[in-house]
Amino acid sequence: MSAMDRNRSFEDEYSQYMRGFDGSATLGRPNIIWIFGDQHRGQALSCNGDSNVTTPNIDNLATHGVNFQQAVAGFPICCPFRGTLLTGLYPHKVVPGHEYPMRSDQLTIADVMNEHGYRTAYFGKWHLDGYRNHGGVVGSPLHIVPPSRRGGFRTWIGYENNNSQWNAWVHGGEGETSFQYRLPGYETDELTNLLLDYIQEDNNCGSDDREPFFAVLSVQPPHPPYAAPAAFRGKHNPQDVQLRPNVPQNQKIRDEARQTIAASSAMIENLDWNLGRILNALEETGQLLNTHIMFFSDHGDMLGSHGLFGKVVPYEESIRIPFIIGGEMQRFYGRKCGPVAAPLGNVDIAPTTLGLCGIDIPDWMEGHDYSPYRVETERNTKEEPDSAFLQALMPREGVDKPWRGVVTADGWKYICFEEMEWLMFNLNEDPYEQVNLAHSLAHYRKRKALHERLTQWIVNTSDEFTMPRI
């Protein structure tokens, strides 16, 4: 394509986008792509200050988009997050624990998108069918998620759970059209190939009034086992890793942290490279100007901070997730770009996605619509929350008791066990959470105010938890 033709094509597409963005007609309605990894903590991006990882494509997405640097996983473990992600409901109402199934009759964002003329597609890790219903076999590649339990997505190629990035099996279809096969290469690369095929097939349909699409790419990395392609792994020497200040002076922990951070960083850089492939495909097919890309993760990873590894604890490395809404379509639209401090949680992702598309949020969704940070809209009349609600409904790695907590937009965190205060941090002064104020007499008034706010969250969400008396 000549420079003149490319410029004319750009002008035509941008003009079409500007005419149709209000969502009142099919023409110009935006595509939506979710891209998310598993166990990718929010700090682990170069645009968020991590010197161990280089993520130029994600950084560019943040530069031309909105970077929600205070985004959290309200329940930092796979299955509860994913249930909330798809429904906009709090975990205790949809998927209360790890490996618990989501009901087959549960409405999801895919149902809403289908109803409003979107084509819906899901590629990758599902983790919502629940091994508890299937003989207790965790991560078996032979387990088939029934079509009725695939969340309403019209196209679905994925797997329940895997934990083996070089030996991933996917399945899809129904009846005589069903299929199952082993991905021929590294999981993130191969699942990205499936999304790229979908984007190209959409472009090949040739209709100017084709339906917009909502597509999801859900990959396992950087979840352990920490294995990346050699081309990415070779760039990271554990001895060069910079540890966070809250990794204790314990040599065994520090050595393990360096090893896992080096390998995890390589996996993140591979995901960043695949994001670049997706952006190129959207540009080549003329869809980049009309596509919102939402990049995030289901929870973080302690990676040695506070002497812990894994997730399901309320520390920053576990609950903070990357959350960026970007893409080229807003570059000339006049909205503010860059970091924001809104307390977005996983319950807010589905409503925010619908808001980006100009679709009214159904009454059964509980989260807040943060799309006004990205697009001009008058649809969202609710007052923005002052905090995000945190939950761990069942004991899991890292801590052996259920807990509840709140993290506020102005930088405070408060966590309780049942009948006992546990943690309280001023994140503005203590971002690495090294000074626990939960039992400080000097901070009693602040603790009481946070205690009351957390109690209100529990009441408002119809949660069941016995708060301590203070």
| DSSP string computed for 99-144 | TPPPPTT---HHHHHHHTT-EEEEEEE---S-GGGTTT-TT-TT--
User: pLDDT confidence of 415, banded at 50, 70, 90?
Assistant: very high
* CATH architecture designation of domain 31-385: 3-Layer(aba) Sandwich (3.40)
pLDDT grade for 330, boundaries at 50, 70 and 90: low
pLDDT at 214 over 50: yes
Q: Which residue has the higher pLDDT, 23 or 46?
A: 46
Q: What is the mean pLDDT of residues 179-203?
A: 94
DSSP character at residue 320:
B
| Mean of pLDDT over the chain | 90
Q: Sorting pLDDT into bands at 50, 70 and 90, what band is 354?
A: very high
Q: Tell me the CATH number for domain 401-460.
A: 3.30.1120.10
Distance CA 417, CA 40 (A): 26
β-bridge mates for residue 396, sequence order: 399
pLDDT of residue 208: 57
Per-domain residue ranges of the chain = 31-385, 401-460
The pLDDT value recorded for residue 10 is 46
Residues 166, 159 contacting (CB under 8 angstroms): no
> Do the domains 401-460 and 31-385 match in fold?
no
| Residue with more model confidence, 55 or 227 | 55
Asked if pLDDT for residue 398 goes beyond 80, the answer is no
Residue 128 C-beta-side C-alpha neighbours within 13 Å: 29
Helix 56-63 / helix 251-284 crossing angle, nearest 10 deg: 60
Whether 340 shows a pLDDT value over 80: the answer reads yes
Task: Supply the pLDDT for residue 334.
Answer: 45
Question: What is the DSSP secondary structure assignment for residue 21, as one 8-state letter?
Answer: T
Contact present, 65 and 374 (Cβ < 8 Å): yes
Task: Say if residue 435's pLDDT is above 60.
Answer: yes
